[in-house]
Structure 1
Amino acid sequence: MGSVARARFDGGLDRLSSLIERFRVTAVIAPAGIAQVPTANFFVFRNGGETRRLVFVPKRSETDPCCRAEMRGDGEAVEVSAFIGISGAGDHLVEALPKCISVPLADAPYLEAAVMPLIEEVTDPRCGGQAVFHRLCEVVVIRLLRHALECGAADVGLLAGLAHPRLAPVLVALHEEPDGQWALERMAETGGMSRTQFALTFKDVVGTTPGVYLSNWRLEIARAELEGGSPVKIVARMCGFSSAAAFSRAFSRRYGHAPKLERRKVA
């Protein structure tokens, strides 16, 4: 894996691609209507003419009053109702998102441009519609992440870290090179800070220490690779562990079972 963080097409820092390529999006259309709300976590509501609002509840909880409050408002009709899941090495990304994301699409034209084809697939079903819907949902999730990042949707956590000018290059580098030798000094140097300043800033903004964050990221990648059938020794090396035994101990502490059991479970 490369040690240089990738750039966007315009040469700026690409803060999301190294995350996006590690997670998977699954999407299933649910019949539109308020009766189906408890089974779904993604909605497009329409109020009157062309006014639309997107709601995404990444960590769906039917009993959470915050989530209920963000559902259909007065005068709104459900145009799209679906369940969207993020799997692979995406758990910590889901945890970083707000409980409920509610976006008036008039305020987010790039997001609206991706949502409109979703509505078309639901309102005018055709052959292959579920496959098209699934692929469109991948685009919508990515654009929704962009929107949340650019709007400062989180005060603490991964999104807050990616929005921070000094921490973003560090996080992107960790995501790009999980197998690297990431001493605190190297992380601090990547962010252009002293060791102490970096450690304190990282903890305040991301909500955990740099070492814990890196360990969790490596283990999420490892779990996804094991689910894909990769051998334990290869996964351990890929994720920067000194040995398969060290990897097994860390994995067992995090998930409560050995890596080999993860592979057997999938098999």
Structure 2
Amino acid sequence: MDRLSALLSHFSVSAGLFHSGGYCGVQVIGDVGNDGHLHFLKQGRLELWLPGQGRQVFDQPSLLFFPRPLSHRFQATEADGTELVCASLQFDGGVNNPISRALPDFLQLPLADMPGIQPSLQLLFDEAFQRYCGRLAVLNRLFEVLVIQILRHLMANQSMSTGLLSGLADPQLAPVLTSMHEQPAEAWTLERLARLAGMSRASFARHFHERVGMTVGDYLLSWRVALAQQKLRQGRPMKLVSGEVGYDSPSALARAFRRQTGHSPSDWLKSHLDLTKAVPA
């Protein structure tokens, strides 16, 4: 059972390097566009300013992770000896991506607390501070690998108290969530899912809500609609999409879609396409 691959096969993440090396000055990041951001402070001192939260100072190698668009400001002087490697992140599905939604707005961790990522991180720093042929392509792929390893770290350490990653870290809920992710068209019932968890229906429903933060039915609805949104963005017709995500007819999917989003599939798709055109490249 691979808890993350089922998610990532549907909702991938891609990265684009935009800074590597010494850093000095003041820069506002994330004030336009729809990207998240991932920064690795290799050494030195860095001041971070977040809206409404004031100043935070980092003076040890650290991970600074913004899964969703969030304006933030960096500041450092030449005397700080700051070295940063930074990338923008595009989560497939944008704000509807289940992985990015499962993470906090901002996550910071000392790199020393994440031994599992050290080999990839060392390779990232080696590539970032040299001028090897193909370094940009390598760095972008390494950032994508590191996002997955960060997710592994959060699950292994049960760092999330509630939400999707909390559920995937739970030994009883992980097979349930993975099965729903891998087989969204299956006729799932509370009884079938409870059997997968090895629990009674009442205990399973209560435990799922405590760990994931929503009912089993609401989670299955949100997952199916997120998949439907992805397929509609790809230009697939409603008639095919409805069956692929577990609904008997386009009208049944449309009802579920409206319940989840407040919009019909056609209205949602039009607004999504209009927004895509409006966002600068």
TM range, smaller chain: 0.7 to 0.9
Once the two structures are overlaid, the 10-residue window that deviates more, 79-88 or 194-203, is 79-88
Give, in whole Å, the separation in 2 of the partners of 1:224 and 1:125: 37
1:223 paired residue number = 229
**Structure 1 residue aligned with 2:27, among 32, 36, 54?**
36
2:258 paired residue number = 252
% identical aligned pairs: 37
TM-superposed CA distance for 1:249, in Å, is 2.0
**Structure 1 residue aligned with 2:64, among 47, 55, 60?**
55
**Structure 2 residue aligned with 1:19, among 7, 14, 19?**
7
TM-superposed CA distance for 1:29, in Å, is 2.0
Q: Please give the per-residue CA displacement for 1:86-123, whole angstroms capped at 9, x wherever unaligned.
A: 12386222121133222322332331212233333332
**Structure 2 residue aligned with 1:85, among 87, 90, 94?**
90
Q: Which consecutive residues of structure 1, in runs of 5 or more, have no partner in the other structure?
A: 1-6, 8-13
Once the two structures are overlaid, the 10-residue window that deviates more, 97-106 or 181-190, is 97-106
Is contact 1:226–1:263 with CA below 8 Å preserved after alignment?
A: yes
Once the two structures are overlaid, the 10-residue window that deviates more, 102-111 or 149-158, is 102-111
2:54 paired residue number = none
SS of the aligned residue for 1:153 comes to: coil
TM-superposed CA distance for 1:28, in Å, is 2.1
Is contact 2:232–2:241 with CA below 8 Å preserved after alignment?
A: yes
Alignment of 1:1-267 (within 5 A): 7=1, 14-31=2-19, 33=23, 35-36=26-27, 38-39=29-30, 41-47=37-43, 52-62=61-71, 77-88=82-93, 91-261=97-267, 265=273
Give, in whole Å, the separation in 2 of the partners of 1:37 and 1:15: 35
With the length of structure 2 as denominator, give the TM-score of the two structures: 0.78
With the length of structure 1 as denominator, give the TM-score of the two structures: 0.81
Give, in whole Å, the separation in 2 of the partners of 1:256 and 1:128: 45
SS of the aligned residue for 2:136 comes to: helix
TM-superposed CA distance for 1:227, in Å, is 1.3
Once the two structures are overlaid, the 10-residue window that deviates more, 27-36 or 222-231, is 27-36
Give, in whole Å, the separation in 2 of the partners of 1:76 and 1:225: 47
Once the two structures are overlaid, the 10-residue window that deviates more, 18-27 or 76-85, is 76-85
**AA in 2 matched with 1:133:** L
Count of aligned pairs between the two proteins: 248
TM-superposed CA distance for 1:207, in Å, is 0.5
Give, in whole Å, the separation in 2 of the partners of 1:110 and 1:36: 31
User: Are residues 91 and 241 of structure 1, via their aligned partners in 2, closer, same or farther at CA, if it must alter by over 3 Å?
Assistant: same
Give, in whole Å, the separation in 2 of the partners of 1:55 and 1:71: 14
Q: Which consecutive residues of structure 2, in runs of 5 or more, have no partner in the other structure?
A: 31-35, 45-59
**AA in 2 matched with 1:98:** P
Is contact 1:47–1:75 with CA below 8 Å preserved after alignment?
A: no
Give, in whole Å, the separation in 2 of the partners of 1:200 and 1:177: 23
TM-superposed CA distance for 1:132, in Å, is 2.4
TM-superposed CA distance for 1:246, in Å, is 0.8
Q: Could you say what the CA RMSD is over the residues aligned between the two structures, in angstroms?
A: 2.9
SS of the aligned residue for 2:158 comes to: coil
Give, in whole Å, the separation in 2 of the partners of 1:222 and 1:105: 37
User: Are residues 91 and 25 of structure 1, via their aligned partners in 2, closer, same or farther at CA, if it must alter by over 3 Å?
Assistant: same
- The structure with the greater share of residues assigned to strand is 2
**AA in 2 matched with 1:87:** D
